[in-house]
Amino acid sequence: MNKGYSCVGLFNPKTPENVGSVMRAAGCYGVNSVFYTGTRYDLAKKFCTDTKNVYQDIPLIGVQDLKEIIPHDCVPVAVDLIEGAKPLPNYKHPKRAFYIFGPEDGTLKKEITEFCRETIYVPTEGCMNLAAAVNVILYDRMAKGDNFSNH
């Protein structure tokens, strides 16, 4: 099975609980690395809830700008509940994807959605918790298997 390659970018995550849960999801779904911006997580990471210590196998890297670190040949995909976003059930994931998620208490800035090839969302009543959204997107990627759109 060729699962492709995927990374996660977190724009200014707020809570260590969610980052820990994102890391756990990354381990469950074979993510290659996780990047984050902002300082809020750095201030709170000692309270991290990565109960499986996934950070030992998957890098969690603080960066200044997600656009500057897009992994080689990865398609940046914004995940946000905003107008114009594509619903996840109809979405075909790129073979090499860099999924970028907004903060728990806000939305992605236009400067991020503009450099992303696409913006997708999980159709729900209201917005999801950051870690829940990461789990749903990564599960959908796995469930659709090799049905990628970019190879």
Q: Please say whether the dihedral angle defined by the alpha carbons of residues 136, 142, 148 and 151, taken in this order, is positive or negative.
A: positive
The confidence score (pLDDT) of residue 137 equals 97
The confidence score (pLDDT) of residue 114 equals 96
40's CB contacts (< 8 A; 6+ apart) are: 12, 13, 14
Query: What's the pTM value of the predicted model, to 2 decimals?
Result: 0.87
The confidence score (pLDDT) of residue 48 equals 53
Is the separation of the CB atoms in 119 and 85 below 8 Å? yes
Beta bridge partners of 9: 35, 100
The confidence score (pLDDT) of residue 102 equals 92
The confidence score (pLDDT) of residue 104 equals 85
The confidence score (pLDDT) of residue 87 equals 96
Burial string for 99-136 (b: 16+ CB within 10 Å, else e) reads bbbbbbeeebeeebbeebebbbbbeeeeebebbbbbbb
Tell me which H or E stretch contains 112.
helix 110-113
44's CB contacts (< 8 A; 6+ apart) are: 15, 16
Q: Could you read off the pLDDT tens digit of each residue along the chain, which spans 151 residues? A: 456 899 999 999 988 888 888 988 999 999 999 999 986 655 445 445 555 555 567 788 889 999 999 999 999 999 998 889 999 999 999 999 999 999 888 889 999 999 999 999 999 987 788 999 999 999 999 999 875 554 3
The torsion angle over the Cα atoms of residues 6, 12, 131 and 57, rounded to 10 degrees, is 50
Domains of the chain: residue spans and CATH = 5-144 (3.40.1280.10)
CA distance 151 to 132: 28
